[in-house]
Amino acid sequence: MKLLRIGEAGEERPAALVAPGTIVRLDDVMNDLDGEFLASGGVERIRAIVASRQASGDVHPLGSTRIGAPIVRPHQIICVGLNYRDHAAESGLAVPDEPILFTKSPNSICGPDDDIVMPRGGEKLDWEIELGVVIGRRAHNLDSPAEAAAVIAGWTLVHDVSERAFQLERGGQWLKGKSSPTFNPVGPWLVTADEVSDVNSLRMVLDVDGIRRQDGTTADMIFDPFTIVWYISQFMALEPGDLINTGTPAGVGMGFRPPVWLTPGSVVDLEIEGLGHQRQTVVGSR
């Protein structure tokens, strides 16, 4: 299934995409796409409801309705840095022996087509297309990467927006350049794990103002998503609804010589095979 949340910011309601541009509404049978829903087996519970409503014609056009992030603000967002060899190379850094972990603020999440707001004092705004992992069951001290499959609710497209001046020139941890509001567009939908036959072979592309900047595949990850979930669980407990951003391929703005940055008016289009498309416009600080 493809699960989504539609409506104005703060008023989103759950639904399922059953055909291009066509949805089944679910707000009468579930509260929201949150950790409680995922942990209680909600995905399996609503499958029959979605199928029944689709078969009976109880469907609705998506139209121009705003799509929000497909999950409610998670307990945490864990990110993996330098998880593609070509991105490590363009950054001038060694391929890591273990996953590099950092966090983003949970309130950096926004809808897939919402504006990206350039933060006050920002001057080196960068893009990063990434595969997102949504956790469906509590995971702590998993014994192997193979066990990770059972705790993953599904996959989503994420945009790990970065202010490089904050991240790299102000000292301390990377999260300072990663956590501004709107710095983590998510969606348009949560694609349940069963619907993706091979998550390790998905093409991912990103354009800025119509120019292709990133063109990669999840096959080039150093640490695959199952290894990442297992690894993180050795150090902390992952909770239902948590989001993991798994890294980006080469082609980010800071990798160009000279670097290329997003500025107010820039338009970013990004897509991962089978997971949908996003489009954001950069606006000045508010």
CA distance 183 to 177: 9
CA distances from 117 to 160, 173, 195 (A): 13, 21, 33
pLDDT of residue 137: 97
Q: DSSP states of 99-138 as a string?
A: -EEEEE-GGGEE-TTSPEEPPTT---EE--EEEEEEE-S-
Q: Which of 79, 71, 70 is nearest to 248 (CA)?
A: 79
Task: Give the whole-angstrom CA distance, residue 209 versus residue 220.
Answer: 25
- DSSP designation for 236: S
Distance CA(246)–CA(114), nearest Å, equals 22
DSSP code at position 5? E
pLDDT value at residue 95: 86
**Alpha helices, H only, the chain:** 35-39, 42-56, 85-90, 145-148, 164-169, 225-233
Which two structure tokens, joined as six digits, stand for 24? 């089944």
ω before 185 within 30° of 0 (cis)? no
Q: Identity (one letter) of the amino acid at 281?
A: T
Taking CA atoms, 211 is separated from 159, 202, 207, 260, in Å, by: 17, 21, 5, 12
- Tell me the per-residue pLDDT of 141-198, one tens digit each, with 9 for 90 and over: 999 999 999 999 999 999 999 999 999 888 878 889 999 999 999 999 999 999 999 9
Cβ(214)–Cβ(248) below 8 Å: yes
Joined together, the tokens standing for residue 252 give 């980010």
Among 192, 246, 236, 275, which residue's Cα sits nearest to residue 75?
Answer: 236
Q: By three-state DSSP, how is residue 23 classified?
A: strand
What secondary structure letter does DSSP report for 233? H
Could you name the CATH architecture of 77-283? Alpha-Beta Complex (3.90)
Question: Whole-model pTM above 0.75?
Answer: yes
> Tokens 């590099």 appear where?
100
What does the domain layout of the chain look like in residue ranges? 2-61, 77-283
Per-residue pLDDT of the chain (286 residues; tens, 9 = 90+): 999 999 999 999 999 999 999 999 999 999 999 999 999 999 999 999 999 999 999 999 999 999 999 999 999 999 999 899 888 888 887 888 999 999 999 999 999 999 999 999 999 999 999 999 999 999 999 999 999 999 999 999 999 999 999 998 888 788 899 999 999 999 999 999 999 999 999 999 999 999 999 999 999 999 999 999 999 999 999 999 999 999 999 999 999 999 999 999 999 999 999 999 999 999 998 7
| Residue whose token pair is 């056009």 | 61
CA gap 186, 250 in Å, rounded = 20
> Whats the size of the chain, residue-wise?
286
